[in-house]
């Protein structure tokens, strides 16, 4: 592989390991273990496992390694470790890095399970956490303490699609001697060079755009070779969050089409946002690619497109949101995102149901908010679909 290849070429070729058969499509090594030719070879392998040598699939597997190497090449990361789910990746980052007495600064608008780990689990192990508004840079600065070890943020918040300034938060973290870990799901590997912006550790739920067809759970952590091999890998190896080789194979094939899919989805998202913006049923059309988005300039500086998600804040509250959802014919009602199928979610009654009304209000999650993950259907059909559903929600 050549480093000068663009990410789109790497999506198709990077990390490929061919067996003696010279297969075109990546081989699926659906095996938990590996045979040693002799007792001495087994002893040697356990003493020192080489780069492309394997012992047990909880540690590493050739198909999983292809997925890790391909994504690392795409992101320009030194190394990657694939995990059973996005949450296994987030958990791996937090528990491998933090010890009792450490302090974390995190954006308050986080994926629910990430919030649970920070607020409930880590607190029980003596790790202190401060939550800040991710877009308030002064709040990030003010929250730093001498024992701050980590800053943790989602590149674009869910479901209100606030864009955070990765480069400045990285600077604030580094000035305080801390690392910055970014959950990059909403920005995708296609639209944002998050490590180049200064992030130290990158986390993905591969369940979303990387699979892109709603089949498998998976996740991945990217970072320096030192962090991945000496800090994260021992934690993951011994706690069992490895990615299944079958799922890794699905994700590898997903990476081949990732740029095409995400770009098409983002183009349709912009079409929908433009067409629906100003509709009488809407209090607000939220899309980072729209000029009226509060962080539009930052989004366009940091990203090549506005992403594949749009959020619609309906004036008529939950009743209007439900009328909108029930008028959809192409878009399905579900809670995944990044899928080929367009998906609509009502966060207040599903993904964010467990939060109190006050917590939802603090995060900007109104009863009228609908999150739309834009899929691969024809954009004209999607625009017509959203406009007719908005008419019915008025």
Ligand X SMILES: *Cc1c(COP(=O)(O)O)cnc(C)c1O
**For residues 381 and 253, what is the distance between their CA atoms, to the nearest angstrom?**
27
Q: How far is CA 58 from each of CA 33, 43, 72, 95, rounded to the nearest angstrom?
A: 9, 19, 19, 18
Return the residue of 86, 306, 307, 368 that touches ligand X, per CB under 6 A: 86
Subset of residues 207 to 236 that bind ligand X, contact rule: CB under 6 A: 207-208, 217, 219
Q: Is 111 in the site for ligand X (CB under 6 A)?
A: yes
Burial class for 101, CB neighbours closer than 10 Å (0-12, 13-18, 19+): exposed
Q: Is 265 in the site for ligand X (CB under 6 A)?
A: no
191-199, 203-211, 306-314, 371-379 -> range binding ligand X (CB under 6 A): 203-211
The least distance separating ligand X from the CB of residue 82, rounded to whole angstroms, comes to 12
Return the residue of 106, 122, 182, 185 that touches ligand X, per CB under 6 A: 185
| 153 phi and psi angles, rounded to 5 deg | -150, 155
Nearest to 165 by CA among 144, 134, 189, 138: 134
Q: Which is nearer to ligand X, 326 or 335 (CB)?
A: 335
Question: Beta strand 148-154 with 179-183: parallel, antiparallel or unpaired?
Answer: parallel
Would you give the binding string for ligand X spanning residues 282-321, x where CB under 6 A is met? Answer: ----------------------------------------
Q: Is 254 in the site for ligand X (CB under 6 A)?
A: no
Nearest to 338 by CA among 187, 222, 234, 202: 187
The least distance separating ligand X from the CB of residue 84, rounded to whole angstroms, comes to 8
Q: Is 183 in the site for ligand X (CB under 6 A)?
A: yes
Please identify which residue in the block is written with the tokens 């007719």.
388
DSSP three-state, residue 180: strand
Binding footprint of ligand X, residue count (CB under 6 A): 15
Length of the chain: 394
Any bridge partners for residue 284, and if so which? 313
The least distance separating ligand X from the CB of residue 156, rounded to whole angstroms, comes to 9
Return the residue of 158, 160, 244, 342 that touches ligand X, per CB under 6 A: 158
The least distance separating ligand X from the CB of residue 330, rounded to whole angstroms, comes to 22
The least distance separating ligand X from the CB of residue 12, rounded to whole angstroms, comes to 24
Q: Which residue is nearest to ligand X (CB)?
A: 86
15-23, 93-101, 202-210, 346-354 -> range binding ligand X (CB under 6 A): 202-210
Q: Is 70 in the site for ligand X (CB under 6 A)?
A: no
**For residues 106 and 88, what is the distance between their CA atoms, to the nearest angstrom?**
18
Q: Is 154 in the site for ligand X (CB under 6 A)?
A: yes
Please identify which residue in the block is written with the tokens 């992403």.
307
Q: Is 379 in the site for ligand X (CB under 6 A)?
A: no
The least distance separating ligand X from the CB of residue 35, rounded to whole angstroms, comes to 32
The least distance separating ligand X from the CB of residue 217, rounded to whole angstroms, comes to 5
Please identify which residue in the block is written with the tokens 């433009």.
274
Q: Is 83 in the site for ligand X (CB under 6 A)?
A: no
**For residues 201 and 223, what is the distance between their CA atoms, to the nearest angstrom?**
5
Please identify which residue in the block is written with the tokens 């994504």.
71
**For residues 354 and 349, what is the distance between their CA atoms, to the nearest angstrom?**
8
85-93, 116-124, 241-249, 251-259 -> range binding ligand X (CB under 6 A): 85-93
The least distance separating ligand X from the CB of residue 198, rounded to whole angstroms, comes to 19
Rounded to the nearest 10 degrees, the angle between the axes of helix 379-393 and helix 258-276 is 40
Q: Which is nearer to ligand X, 88 or 389 (CB)?
A: 88
Is 93 within 8 Å of 221 (Cβ atoms)?
yes
Q: Is 85 in the site for ligand X (CB under 6 A)?
A: yes
Q: Which is nearer to ligand X, 102 or 339 (CB)?
A: 339
Nearest to 251 by CA among 303, 282, 208, 300: 208
H/E element holding 386?
A: helix 379-393
Q: Which is nearer to ligand X, 66 or 90 (CB)?
A: 90
Q: Which is nearer to ligand X, 90 or 252 (CB)?
A: 90
H/E element holding 202?
A: strand 201-205
Structure tokens at 375: 């899929």
Q: Which is nearer to ligand X, 75 or 183 (CB)?
A: 183
Q: Which is nearer to ligand X, 5 or 246 (CB)?
A: 246
Applying CB under 6 A, the residues found at the interface with ligand X are 85-87, 90, 111, 114, 154, 158, 183, 185, 205, 207-208, 217, 219
């Amino acid at each position: 592989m050549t480093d000068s290849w663009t990410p789109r070429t790497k999506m198709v070729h990077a990390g490929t390991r061919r067996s003696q058969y010279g297969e075109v499509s990546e081989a699926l090594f659906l095996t938990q273990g590996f045979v040693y030719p002799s007792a001495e070879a087994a002893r040697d392998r356990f003493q020192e496992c080489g780069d492309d040598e394997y012992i047990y699939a909880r540690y590493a597997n050739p198909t999983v390694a292809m997925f890790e190497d391909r994504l690392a090449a795409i992101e320009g990361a030194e190394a990657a470790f694939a995990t059973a789910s996005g949450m296994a990746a987030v958990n791996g980052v937090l528990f491998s890095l933090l010890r009792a007495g450490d302090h974390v600064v995190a954006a308050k608008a986080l994926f629910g399970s990430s919030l649970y780990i920070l607020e409930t689990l880590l607190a029980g192990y003596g790790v202190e956490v401060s939550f800040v508004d991710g877009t308030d840079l002064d709040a990030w600065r003010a929250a730093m303490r001498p024992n701050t070890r980590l800053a943790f943020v989602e590149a674009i918040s869910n479901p209100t699609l606030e864009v955070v300034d990765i480069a400045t938060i990285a600077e604030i973290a580094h000035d305080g001697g801390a690392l910055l870990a970014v959950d990059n799901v909403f920005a995708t590997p296609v639209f944002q060079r998050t490590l180049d912006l200064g992030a130290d550790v990158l986390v993905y739920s591969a369940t979303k755009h990387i699979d892109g067809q709603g089949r498998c759970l998976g996740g991945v952590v990217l970072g320096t070779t030192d962090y991945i091999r000496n800090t994260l890998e021992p934690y993951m190896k011994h706690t069992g969050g490895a990615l299944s080789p079958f799922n890794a194979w699905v994700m590898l094939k997903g990476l081949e089409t990732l740029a095409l899919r995400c770009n098409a989805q983002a183009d349709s998202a912009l079409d929908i946002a433009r067409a629906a913006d100003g509709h009488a049923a809407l209090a607000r059309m939220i899309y980072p690619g729209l000029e009226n988005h509060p962080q539009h300039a930052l989004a366009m500086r940091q990203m090549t497109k506005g992403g594949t998600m749009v959020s619609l804040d309906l004036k008529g509250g939950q009743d209007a949101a439900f009328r909108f959802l029930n008028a959809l014919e192409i878009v399905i009602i579900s809670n995944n995102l990044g899928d080929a199928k367009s998906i609509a979610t009502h966060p207040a009654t599903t993904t964010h149901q467990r939060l109190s009304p006050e917590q939802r209000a603090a995060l900007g999650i109104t009863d009228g908010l609908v999150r739309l993950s834009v899929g691969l259907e024809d954009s004209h059909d999607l625009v017509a679909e959203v406009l007719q559903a908005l008419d019915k929600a008025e």
